[in-house]
Structure 1
Amino acid sequence: MPDHGHELLFGTFITPTAHDPARAVALAELSEAAGLDVATFQDHPYNSGFLDTYTLLTWVAARTSRIRVSANVTNLPLRPPAMLGRVTASLDLLSGGRFELGLGAGAFPDAAHRMGGRRMTQGQRIEALDEAIDIIRGVWDDRVPGPLRHEGEHYSVPAMKRGPRPAHDIGVWLGAYQPRMLRLTGRKADGWLPTLEYLRSPGMAEANKVIDDAALAAGRDPGDIQRLLNILTVGFSSSRRGFLQGPPHQWVEQLLPLVLDHGFSAFFIGQDDPRVIRTFGEEVAPGLREAVARERATAGTSSPPQRSAIALSKRQDTIDYDAVPERLAKKVVEPGDPAYDAVRHTYIRTGSPALVIQCEDADDVVAALAYARGRRVDISVRSGGHGISGRSTNEGGIVIDLSKMHAVEVIDRAARRIRVEPGARWGHVARALAPHGLAMSSGDYGDVGVGGLATAGGLGYLARKYGLTIDHITAAEIVVADGRRLRVDADHHPGLFWAIRGAGGNFGIVTAFEFEAYEVSDVVHATITVDATDTADLLVEWGQLVEAAPREVTSFLSLFPARRGGPVTGQITLVYAGDDVEAAQHALTPFLGAGPVLGQRAQLVPYHAIVAPPGNEHRGQGIEDTRSGLLDHLTRQAAEVIETMMRSGDILITQFRSMGGAVHDIPADAMAWSHRTQNFSVLAASAPSHVARMNAHWARLYPHLNGMYLSFETDTDPARLLDAFPEPVLTRLSRLKAEWDPDDVFNRNFDIPPAR
């Protein structure tokens, strides 16, 4: 089997000895520190000298932050598949998507039987494994309506509630040696995980062929099945010796043919020697990655993957798939590819694009844009965030996906200058800046993407103290409609720099931002839950408290309709931008008088903790329609309209975000966002069945509004452009659009037509 271009993985195969439990954990921590990707552990529950592997995996995941964990391999006869599905999904969620499922039919059936496992023949164990894979994946797939039901020869699941869904698509890696197990691997598994020393008959090449033939017979692409290899007999020395017994460069030479000729792309060493682990991670892994990258470049393995007939049948006739540029060939996801469901949607909206191009750098963006322009279909640009407006996915078009461009870098700590790529999410930015004592105000949720927010505004928890996110952009790197890569700032293309701060989605694809961050470490974070039955009174009082508060205080207010006889409720979120607890208490205490308090909490926390990234799966699970507006003040008249809205039950949520303070310090003509007098942003959301009624309520509120934040608006009526960009801003934007995008290529994000 030739190399199919999978990402290389390197890891350890650790013995979970019970006599020194801390050692197994320490070896996993060392694996992460050495730069390895995976820590795996034997799973022999019947061995009293071993720790329980799944308890150990949970502990290791909690003690690490990056490395993946897996049993190598899970003993199925002693772990019922329905429960295993729930256990593995839970572990994946708790670890932030760092679990993989190594799975086996049970290598020591007598030992398992002595522990209570059912006695089965080898054939029965394989049949049971076949059923178990379906059950486990059925538990994970909570998108299928109704309970999970399975009635097989070996397992019965009468009516199990599905879920939870894992944080990522967990790989199922089978430990397989004999033809029947190998065929099961080809039909159903995501990976093959043998141990080199046990590969006898069939041998490596023969086993790969059995897997490939079974995959093709099942309508699968054999290249989709990753080949992973345990190697137990290894060691390092200064002179050349036997296989994987010499210096690191000899290891690279000897592992390279396993990648190029046999398709293996993951190697786990079964040595509990810290020196071996460290050398493997620090010298062998980077050396082999470099050698494989060099060979792949010269051998042309960047050519398109071979797709099965089933996958090809799902191609859409809007796209010439054969015209995809060579540099993008392995970076595209088609409707028939296994990864399609993970990239077709945003967090909020569903989509069915004909092609998703996952760019990894600015040159990829240039190539993707040139290709997409030639197809004459909708082009959506997605940074990796929520996509409330629905414009970052589409039906039958192309999505240029920037989620793999997610680097966060502190360029100059003294000047507080940072560089952030658009695919990063704000929770990751907060975490990356925290060790430097820096922060950037973004939104209220760590899963929001950088690119969409940083070209539209950025109303976050630090807005009244530090302003909008876009107020701190000092430069940007952008690919414009004709394919040029530009750096824009106050001195280079100043008109374009003015435009992208507020209307960026109309002018190109930003591939990196430079920001001036601010000195923030700890903040005081408080939440107050109130009875909002008297909604208008609450709004007026809260609005006055916000405007009177020191600018260190930023507050959000969310209103939720009455449910099951309860009151309309409000949640007041307060952030004091600083660690002066006494000053914060003085500033925040008045908010306890905004309405009848149902609950309260306040704490001093690191800023990054309140925007931590939850790692949500993006599969279109959000609200469908929202309306957005800005208010100079929360007047009694506006508040009474909103009270009627909330009492109607037609609105799922209404949220207010405070502006003012530093937001007002910026001149209105400094950038395309010109709303520098309003004190509040308001958003209302409704279910699809209630949109008409929401629109009627919004029409009554509209006369009280002064502007709009377009990232929260799903109404695409061109008349709303003047709400987002009041004159003379819109005229200037139209002229700049004619200069930079005369063909209106970037027309999905609240289209600004070019001036004619």
Structure 2
Amino acid sequence: MSDYGHDLLFGTFVTPTAQAPGQVVALAELTEAAGLDLVTFQDHPYNPDFFDTWTLLSWVAARTRRLRVSANVLNLPLRPPAVLARAAASLDLLSGGRFELGLGAGAFWDGVEGMGGRRLTAGQGVTALREAIEILRGVWDDTSPGLLRSDGKYYRIPGMRRGPAPAHHINIWLGAYQPRMLALTGQTADGWLPTLEYLRSPDRNTANRLIDEAAVAAGRDPRQIRRLLNLFQVDISSNSRGFLQGPPEQWVDQLLPLVLQEGFTAFLIGRDDPRLIQTFGQEVAPALREAVARERATAGTPTGPARSSVALAKRQPGIDYDGLPTTLARQAVEPGDPDYDRVRHNYTRPGSPALVLRPGTAAEVADALSYARSQVVSISVRSGGHGISGRSTNDGGILIDLCRLDKVEVLDRASRRVRLEPGARWGDVAQALAPYGLAISSGDYGDVGVGGLATTGGIGYLARSYGLTIDHILAAEIVLANGTLARVDAANHPDLFWAIRGAGGNFGIVTALEIEAYEVDSVVYAHLAIDASDTAEVLRRWGRLVENAPRELTSFLSIYPSRRRTSPLAQVTLVYARDDVDAAQAALTPFLEIGPVLDQQAQLAPYAAIVAPPHNRHHGQGIENTHSGLLHHITTESAATLHTMVHSGDVLAVQLRSVGGAVNDVPRDATAYPHRTQNFSVLAATSPEHLPQLDKYWAELYPQLDGMYLSFETDTDPKRLLDAFPEPTLGRLRQLKATYDPDNVFNRNFPIPPATPAGAGKETDHAD
């Protein structure tokens, strides 16, 4: 026995009494308010004095924001594992990855049998539990092919579809006391969840040994199994000076050996006492964390995640996994880890990185970058993971995933100053700003991350009214290639501040942005479905109306070639950025004349509702090949070329977004995004097998284009740099690149080559 090195968890074991519903929920909310990590509830469905535990878990998850929830422990004989798996994944997804699964083989058999459950012996219960765990994990594994089937003795699954996958790896913690259950814990579980009062010290020693031996025999590292402990006979105000019967400092002294000598790293108090819960969270937990950290530093205790021999065998050459800084090790994901399939891909393309780092602070981002540079492998950076170019993942390299940097703060309502971290999703930003009556134009899809969009441009539903997202950035915090953290704004590093607004991914890793939001609450949102048989005419009419519309109106038009339909379909989105319904109607009505209307909808809606955060799981499901360009006007020639493209059958979609308006109020040299005279962004998408045909049609359209919107282009040929950054912008960026990233560390997404130092030889052109 020893310290297994897990981070410490603290929580409560609340009685789910149905006689006092307000009290039960209030204690759960207090658990979160006190800074604790986890709330748990016993599960006795046959007891009419208790709430149904699953319903209670769902309600509490909805009433809290950070708190993890779990049963302690769930009654398996009355909860079929296939249904339980779906319910667990659903709650985990709805709560943002906050559900854990405390699970038991069964007890109180008279009650179970009375409700129609099957009475099992202790041995039968262990076998049934083993089968159930296999089914649970099989349902959650939606990457395995085919239906899930199980021909168990107690649970038969003839064939069911897998999924949904939960938001995170749901830990299965077993309530175990007898040797066979302890062995099962070591072989398959993520944690052991006993109650202290049921175990004497020698019993704890024996149980830990049995778990460890079973883990080793199964090819696991015993450190993979967390040891949790329920504590019932506790009293913070007692004068008896017994075990956990006294002041907080005594608790720390008495719990410390349980961590360092017996390996317990989660403590759940089982008394419904508000004062005790508050003291436990605010005094005991932080003091014990500090004491454990001090002892671990002295002893050199490993604290990173433990991995099985199978997982270790999946490590890839060229990476010094054991040299990973301790600040990063706990959140790192390797190819053999349970969370790997959730973090390896982006939305557009699949990936197989050798290591995924998930820093949670700017300092950890600097550590991650320094470590990644020392490994001499490709480095990718990801905020939300929608990057159409696909460069926010890689094969065999290191991925720095900013998902944990996701805070949204209103710094000053009066000046509308908002601070965003790059891993936040724009849908979450909209939801967070809505109570203040504020909004930020940010594309059209709430699952997109802040970092990529807000360093490239940001053509959103409010663009013609308020401009690009980058036009409202006031300051940024960025980790540079040399690992230093810089704050940039108009007064500090103004040259770098200019560059990151349009070409930010080339100069560092942005860890926070301060943005001026706008006074926007509700908007008028309309949608039209148009028969686009005469695609060219639909495009010309739409383009003319957009240019003549008041700048409160922004519109997107997407055309999908016919598949089952007899003609192409145009989907037109119109957003009027004020809640003036009469003015909106006057602006929107002319668009009913752009073509035969198949469907129309219009409503006054909160801005946050039209960019709701779906939080899709990314597995390379997006369109792989797109081309992007900018048009001053939709001319007869450009409309005809797009018409031919749509009717060719070689493209999946063509989309145009209106810019102009406030976008063009900004001088072209004010930011590194220089395209301030065009009125439309155009994108065409296809599948890999049709890319040569799309290239041909795009070559015909190309002479009519002027510029390119970087985020919508998958062709990263260096020759396209001048489309994104026409001179003198590119030359200025290259000079700055030589200053801030001379080694071209940030070279994945349309890399800008550093300018060659004077006297170092012939200057290479932008295509080198």
What range is the shorter-chain TM-score in?
Answer: over 0.9
* Partner residue, 1:97: 97
Helix, strand or coil at the partner of 1:510:
strand
1:254 and 1:694 map into 2 onto residues whose CA distance is 70
2:208 equivalent to 1:208 = yes
**Aligned residue type for 2:137:** R
Kept after mapping to 1: 8 A contact 2:710/2:724? yes
1:304 to partner: Cα distance: 4.8
1:268 and 1:303 map into 2 onto residues whose CA distance is 21
Deviations 1:268-298 (A, max 9, x none): 2222333433443344344444444444444
Q: 615-624 vs 179-188, which deviates more? A: 615-624
2:585 equivalent to 1:591 = no
**Alignment CA distance shift 1:535-1:57 (3 Å):** farther
1:131 to partner: Cα distance: 0.8
**Alignment CA distance shift 1:185-1:333 (3 Å):** same
**Alignment CA distance shift 1:119-1:592 (3 Å):** same
Deviations 1:155-208 (A, max 9, x none): 211111222222322222211111211111122112222222222487223222
Q: 326-335 vs 401-410, which deviates more? A: 326-335
Kept after mapping to 1: 8 A contact 2:4/2:303? no
Deviations 1:123-145 (A, max 9, x none): 11111111111112211222222
1:83 and 1:168 map into 2 onto residues whose CA distance is 18
Kept after mapping to 2: 8 A contact 1:385/1:425? no
1:641 to partner: Cα distance: 2.7
1:315-394 pair list within 5 angstroms: 315-394=315-394
**Aligned residue type for 1:389:** S
2:198 equivalent to 1:198 = yes
**Alignment CA distance shift 1:327-1:145 (3 Å):** closer
1:314 to partner: Cα distance: 1.7
Helix, strand or coil at the partner of 1:333:
coil
Kept after mapping to 1: 8 A contact 2:5/2:304? no
**Alignment CA distance shift 1:567-1:279 (3 Å):** farther
* Partner residue, 2:762: none
Helix, strand or coil at the partner of 2:318:
coil
Q: 177-186 vs 20-29, which deviates more? A: 20-29
Kept after mapping to 2: 8 A contact 1:99/1:170? yes
Deviations 1:291-327 (A, max 9, x none): 4444444444466555443333222222233443454
Runs of 4+ in 1 over 6 A off after TM superposition: none
1:498 to partner: Cα distance: 1.6
1:294 and 1:603 map into 2 onto residues whose CA distance is 58
* Partner residue, 1:177: 177
Helix, strand or coil at the partner of 2:714:
coil
Kept after mapping to 2: 8 A contact 1:302/1:329? no
Helix, strand or coil at the partner of 2:10:
strand
User: Aligned Cα RMSD in Å?
Assistant: 2.5
* Partner residue, 2:428: 428
**Alignment CA distance shift 1:699-1:275 (3 Å):** same
Q: 726-735 vs 307-316, which deviates more? A: 307-316
Kept after mapping to 1: 8 A contact 2:478/2:486? yes
Kept after mapping to 1: 8 A contact 2:344/2:393? yes
* Partner residue, 2:456: 456
1:100 and 1:490 map into 2 onto residues whose CA distance is 46
Helix, strand or coil at the partner of 1:43:
coil
1:520 and 1:294 map into 2 onto residues whose CA distance is 49
1:733-744 pair list within 5 angstroms: 733-744=733-744
1:745 and 1:234 map into 2 onto residues whose CA distance is 55
Helix, strand or coil at the partner of 1:332:
coil
1:285-300 pair list within 5 angstroms: 285-300=285-300
**Alignment CA distance shift 1:578-1:299 (3 Å):** farther
1:148 to partner: Cα distance: 1.0
1:716 and 1:681 map into 2 onto residues whose CA distance is 18
1:278 and 1:330 map into 2 onto residues whose CA distance is 28
1:326 and 1:512 map into 2 onto residues whose CA distance is 23
1:350 and 1:289 map into 2 onto residues whose CA distance is 39
1:164 and 1:303 map into 2 onto residues whose CA distance is 31
**Alignment CA distance shift 1:636-1:184 (3 Å):** farther
**Alignment CA distance shift 1:580-1:358 (3 Å):** same
* Partner residue, 2:257: 257
1:521-540 pair list within 5 angstroms: 521-540=521-540
Kept after mapping to 2: 8 A contact 1:167/1:616? no
**Aligned residue type for 2:741:** D
1:418 to partner: Cα distance: 2.6
**Alignment CA distance shift 1:315-1:96 (3 Å):** closer
1:706 and 1:240 map into 2 onto residues whose CA distance is 81
Deviations 1:573-594 (A, max 9, x none): 2222233333333333333333
1:524-563 pair list within 5 angstroms: 524-563=524-563
**Alignment CA distance shift 1:24-1:491 (3 Å):** closer
2:441 and 2:395 map into 1 onto residues whose CA distance is 33
Q: 427-436 vs 207-216, which deviates more? A: 427-436
TM-score (normalised: structure 2)? 0.92
1:567 to partner: Cα distance: 4.3
**Alignment CA distance shift 1:108-1:716 (3 Å):** same
1:665 to partner: Cα distance: 0.8
Deviations 1:51-74 (A, max 9, x none): 322233233333333333222211
**Aligned residue type for 1:338:** P
Helix, strand or coil at the partner of 2:599:
strand
**What is the percent sequence identity of the aligned residues?**
69
* Partner residue, 1:17: 17
2:156 and 2:170 map into 1 onto residues whose CA distance is 23
Deviations 1:503-533 (A, max 9, x none): 1111222222222222223333333333333
1:246 to partner: Cα distance: 2.6
* Partner residue, 1:709: 709
**Alignment CA distance shift 1:258-1:631 (3 Å):** farther
Q: 285-294 vs 676-685, which deviates more? A: 285-294
**Alignment CA distance shift 1:204-1:610 (3 Å):** farther
**Aligned residue type for 1:14:** V
1:163 and 1:644 map into 2 onto residues whose CA distance is 41
Kept after mapping to 2: 8 A contact 1:501/1:671? yes
**Alignment CA distance shift 1:4-1:695 (3 Å):** farther
Q: Give structure 2 stretches of 5+ with no counterpart.
A: 757-768
**Alignment CA distance shift 1:622-1:171 (3 Å):** farther
Kept after mapping to 2: 8 A contact 1:641/1:701? yes
Kept after mapping to 1: 8 A contact 2:426/2:449? yes
1:389 and 1:729 map into 2 onto residues whose CA distance is 22
2:567 and 2:24 map into 1 onto residues whose CA distance is 53
1:514-663 pair list within 5 angstroms: 514-565=514-565, 567-663=567-663
Q: 259-268 vs 117-126, which deviates more? A: 259-268
Kept after mapping to 2: 8 A contact 1:532/1:569? yes
1:315 and 1:296 map into 2 onto residues whose CA distance is 27
1:604 and 1:205 map into 2 onto residues whose CA distance is 64
Helix, strand or coil at the partner of 2:731:
helix
**Alignment CA distance shift 1:605-1:296 (3 Å):** farther
**Alignment CA distance shift 1:230-1:561 (3 Å):** farther
1:237 to partner: Cα distance: 1.2
1:687 and 1:25 map into 2 onto residues whose CA distance is 51
Helix, strand or coil at the partner of 1:747:
coil
1:112 to partner: Cα distance: 1.3
